[in-house]
A and B are shown apart, each in its own frame.
Chain A
Amino acid sequence: MTTPQDTTPGVPPTKERPEDIRAVPVRHPGRWVAIACIAVLAAMFLHAMITNSVLHWDVVGQVFTYPTVIQGMEKTLLLTLCAMVLGIVGGVLLAVMRLSRNPVLSGVSWLYIWVFRGTPVLVQLFFWNFMGAIFPKVGLGIPFGPTWVSWNYNDLVPLFMVCVLGLGLNEAAYFAEIVRAGILSVDEGQAEAAASLGLTHAQTLRRIVLPQAMRVIIPPAGNETISMLKTTSLVSAIAFEELTRAGQDIGARTLYIIPSLIAVSLWYLLFTSILSVGQFYIERHYGRGTNRALPATPWQKVKSNVLTLRLRSTGNTGGTIGGSL
């Protein structure tokens, strides 16, 4: 820090430093009115929710921790994880193929994305589920010739794998476009500099281009993961016992349909919230070195707001930064 009294050679000494600016901040009466309106509406909504007898909050609590719901929740998480891993690996592969100068690779990738992005994921799930009816046996052998070994499709691909394939292969098509956008966002000069140093195409991609593309890829990747967590509910349509299906089953058995759905929704909300927090910090990490000022964490925001209020109450508001009412 340089103090105002610093004298640099050749520069005449400055006059006495004027005192810090202590201006009255702009007041926002509209915000207080809005807060009051929202508070009344929220209170009305809460009152309606709590007093509504159809909602059965006691049942919501029971369903929330019911063993089959817990098991369904675990399967939903595992399915989300597996489908996203397949989607990310497949997506990166497809994106690299799509951008390849090899017309065969880019053509295959284009066709894949065209098919998997062009049909509903629910329909794809049905196809993977009924594949056993189309191809009852899967074998290894010479094309159009003898078969050496063969398996039953339904033994080879259990229901969980059907779900992973259906969701993951569809996700790969979307993720490929995200990775492709990320790769294209990296300045061409980077690849040229790498090439001029003697790096091959593959080395340039792995060492120089992809790490820089991450900054662009991460935010939509977080979005896709959150989206996937909820999309897994679709597999209830092919009778896989995940979270939504578990809630539906209880609802159908006990006729507490709405409370069951609320309990299930709370689980989804909990996990999407955790994922959102994770996404914020990952983005913040990859923004390092490019963002001039990193976005404040929620904790930092609270601290700065409290500080502003405290300073304002003592009449000193000079020099504080941060949001305030």
Chain B
Amino acid sequence: MTTTLHPMVRAEQVHKSYGQLEVLKGIDLEVQPGEVFCLVGPSGSGKSTFLRCINHLEQINAGRLYVDGDLMGYRERNGKLYELKDREVALKRRDIGMVFQRFNLFPHLTAIENVMEAPVRVKGESKQAARERAEARLAQVGLADKAASYPSQLSGGQQQRVAIARALAMEPKLMLFDEPTSALDPELVGDVLDCMRELAEQGMTMIVVTHEMGFAREVGDALVFMDGGVVVESGHPREVLTNPQHERTRAFLSKVL
């Protein structure tokens, strides 16, 4: 890993509204390279929205959001913001992998084709090279034997692991996980969490929206508790989870722990 001086993600007073409804009311935070950063909070607290702002699936209304030192979605020149073109945004998104709650695998492609798609189309890798690397990626998530299966033939846990392999195929600097285990049967959650734990051990920078407090405690390096569109409390996961300072955090944790 190269040492970088700037944080992987820096949010300064990020605001986001849907019409009249303001879902993010000024988020400030920093995610350091190599860190596993957990976002927890009740549903509707804005944590998923914030995650989607990071790779510009949602556009923020105020504040600044930097990824790997660059402003996301805009170019700033002489104090003025210019929107980036579709192609330029796509270029930035290559470095940010994302894993969705509902997997969002491409149902018309097999597992290995799902993993190969972006390296071939976006990076212009040859099919042969991409296939070999995709096979390695699938093996890494324990699904070498499922390469030829269509998503509908896989269990939820297997689909999510293919989705992780698909995101990793672009060799991202940052991985975003949007409640990756919330749509899974309890039996299958462990496989996906193991996969993420392994990724964390390899030094991947990860931002994880999750309700899995056990995972946050064991693997997380930093944790932020959000509610009502603001950061209520932040710190090391073990400290926040065992000794929450804020009343709202305490009330939430008493329900989920």
Residue ID in chain B nearest A208 by CB atoms = B106
Given contact pairs A199-B118, A212-B108, A290 touches B152 in the complex (Cβ within 8 A): yes
* Residue B96, interface by CB 8 Å: yes
Interface residue tally on B, bucketed by range: 20 to 34
Which of B79-122 touch A at CB < 8 Å?
A: 86-87, 90-91, 93-94, 96-98, 100, 102, 104-108, 117-118, 121-122
Give me the interface of B with A, judged by CB distance under 8 Å: 55, 57, 86-87, 90-91, 93-94, 96-98, 100, 102, 104-108, 117-118, 121-122, 150, 152, 163, 166-167, 170, 176
Does B117 contact A207, Cβ atoms closer than 8 Å? yes
* Residue A197, interface by CB 8 Å: yes
Given contact pairs A198-B90, A200-B87, A212-B108, A192 touches B122 in the complex (Cβ within 8 A): no
Q: Which residues of B contact A195 (CB under 8 A)?
A: 55, 57, 90, 93
Q: Which residues of B contact A211 (CB under 8 A)?
A: 108
Q: Which residues of B contact A200 (CB under 8 A)?
A: 86-87, 90
* Interface residues on chain A, number (Cβ under 8 Å): 20
* Residue A7, interface by CB 8 Å: no
Does B106 contact A190, Cβ atoms closer than 8 Å? yes
**B contact face: mostly helix, strand, loop, or mixed:** mixed
- Please measure, in the bound complex, the distance between the C-alpha atom of A35 and the C-alpha atom of B121, giving whole angstroms: 59
Which of A190-220 touch B at CB < 8 Å?
A: 190, 192-201, 203, 207-208, 211-212
Given contact pairs A190-B104, A193-B104, A199 touches B96 in the complex (Cβ within 8 A): no
With A195-B55, A197-B94 given, name 5 new contacts (CB 8 A): A193-B106, A195-B93, A197-B166, A198-B91, A199-B121
Q: Which residues of A contact B94 (CB under 8 A)?
A: 197-198
Please give the distance in Å from A219's CB to the nearest CB on chain B.
17
Please give the distance in Å from A202's CB to the nearest CB on chain B.
8
* Residue A18, interface by CB 8 Å: no
Q: Which residues of A contact B150 (CB under 8 A)?
A: 289
* Residue A189, interface by CB 8 Å: yes
Does B121 contact A196, Cβ atoms closer than 8 Å? no
Does B102 contact A199, Cβ atoms closer than 8 Å? no
For the complex of A and B, list the 6 residue pairs with the smallest distance between their C-beta atoms, beginning with the closest.
A198-B94, A193-B104, A197-B118, A196-B98, A189-B104, A198-B122
Does A197 contact B104, Cβ atoms closer than 8 Å? no
- Please measure, in the bound complex, the distance between the C-alpha atom of A211 and the C-alpha atom of B176, giving whole angstroms: 27
Does A212 contact B107, Cβ atoms closer than 8 Å? yes
- Please measure, in the bound complex, the distance between the C-alpha atom of A200 and the C-alpha atom of B89, giving whole angstroms: 9
Given contact pairs A192-B100, A207-B121, A197 touches B107 in the complex (Cβ within 8 A): no
**Most chain A CB neighbours (cut-off 10 Å) among B98, B102, B106, B167:** B106
- Please measure, in the bound complex, the distance between the C-alpha atom of A31 and the C-alpha atom of B86, giving whole angstroms: 62
- Please measure, in the bound complex, the distance between the C-alpha atom of A208 and the C-alpha atom of B176, giving whole angstroms: 21
Q: Which residues of B contact A212 (CB under 8 A)?
A: 106-108
Given contact pairs A192-B100, A289-B107, A197 touches B86 in the complex (Cβ within 8 A): no
**Most chain B CB neighbours (cut-off 10 Å) among A190, A195, A203:** A195
